[in-house]
Amino acid sequence: MKQKDLARRHRVTDGRKFRLEDVDPADTAGLDIEKDDARELLADSIKDLRKLQERLYAEGRWAVLVVLQAMDAGGKDSAIEHVMTGINPQGCDVRSFKQPGPIELRHDFLWRHVAGLPQRGKIVIFNRSHYEEVLVVRVHPEILEKQSLPPQLVGDDLWENRFKDIRAFERHLANSGTVVLKFFLHISKDEQARRFLDRIDEADKNWKFSFGDLEERKHWDDYMAACDDMIRSTARDHAPWHVVPANNKWYARMVISSVLTETLERLDPQYPTVTDEERQRMKAARDVLAHEAGL
């Protein structure tokens, strides 16, 4: 399967009829390959991504925002580690959004995310994002009490209003030269259980295990319903969701890398051009440096 086909396979731009239950978390697009072969394919894709990212950084016109959402143990951290390996760290940042603190709670729910947006020429990855406000907060509505919202705004239309705000926010970003790429890493409940067991059974993974994750697991069905609504309500052509089957980590990484590469190829960033005057000045500078170096 070609990289462009893989990038487009899981793209959702009109979510009105989307249902998460229609996506097989174990899907690998018919690819049946060994892990070593998967690593080779990913390495080749990363080489292309590295070259394109360098051009993006040099041109300094477009920005790329990557949003990663998943259930606990969905593979976000490892995807960042493997896909962004080799990328120039000057041109890529990762923002992880944990539970908001007192200052953040005194602002609107988008405030802290705006502060983390990429500047032109850079890629920024949101490891969890503004979408937590229509997922975790929706599943645990008691969290709203901490946000000190005016009571008259906490009604039946709260979630739809937040979806409208998010759509407007992402439209604004697109209109301002920020490409928004959203990934939902979709794992099955059984696969999550296996990954939790690995965290318990393997000593070097113990630090990853959280008893709180087991409590959240009890709300699996509520989260699935909230994710469905999130994707249906916010998948747009200018800010698509990519619902990535993630039971197989190698496949999820390949999809993310393919989407990023295909997107940068479409943007086609170029190195800044050098004028004739600048070339003459560089030639003069070269002559001086070569003389000083005795060359």
Q: What is the pLDDT along the chain (295 residues), one digit of tens a residue?
A: 566 688 889 999 987 889 999 999 999 998 877 777 777 888 888 899 999 999 999 999 999 999 999 999 999 999 999 998 878 888 999 999 988 899 999 999 999 999 999 999 999 999 999 999 999 999 999 999 899 899 889 888 999 999 999 999 999 999 999 999 999 999 999 999 999 999 999 999 999 999 999 999 999 999 999 999 999 999 999 999 999 999 999 999 999 999 999 999 999 999 998 888 989 999 999 999 999 999 8
Backbone angles phi, psi at 240, to 5 degrees: -75, 155
Q: Which pTM does this prediction carry?
A: 0.92
Grouping H, G, I as helix, E, B as strand and the rest as coil, residue 75 is: coil
DSSP state string for 107-165: S-TTHHHHTTPPPTT-EEEEES-GGGGGTHHHH-GGGGGGGT--GGGSSTTHHHHHHHH
Residues 228, 30, 184: CA angle, nearest 5 degrees: 25
pLDDT the model gives residue 239: 96
CB 6 within 8 Å of CB 245: no
How many whole angstroms separate alpha carbon 196 and alpha carbon 208? 9
pLDDT the model gives residue 32: 77
Burial class (CB in 10 A: 0-12, 13-18, 19+), 255: buried
End-to-end CA distance of the chain: 51
Task: Tell me what percent of the chain is helix, strand and coil, each rounded to the nearest 5.
Answer: 60, 10, 30
Structural domains in the chain, sorted by start = 3-292 (3.40.50.300)
Token pair belonging to 92: 């890529």
Nearest to 132 by CA among 74, 68, 89, 178: 68
Residues with Cβ within 8 Å of 148's Cβ and at least 6 positions away in sequence, in order, are: 105, 106
pLDDT the model gives residue 107: 93
DSSP classification of residue 216: H
How many whole angstroms separate alpha carbon 66 and alpha carbon 78? 15
pLDDT the model gives residue 3: 66
What stretch of H or E contains 257? Answer: helix 249-267
| CA dihedral (199, 200, 201, 206) positive or negative | positive
pLDDT the model gives residue 2: 66
CB 231 within 8 Å of CB 112: no
CB 120 within 8 Å of CB 177: yes
pLDDT the model gives residue 93: 94
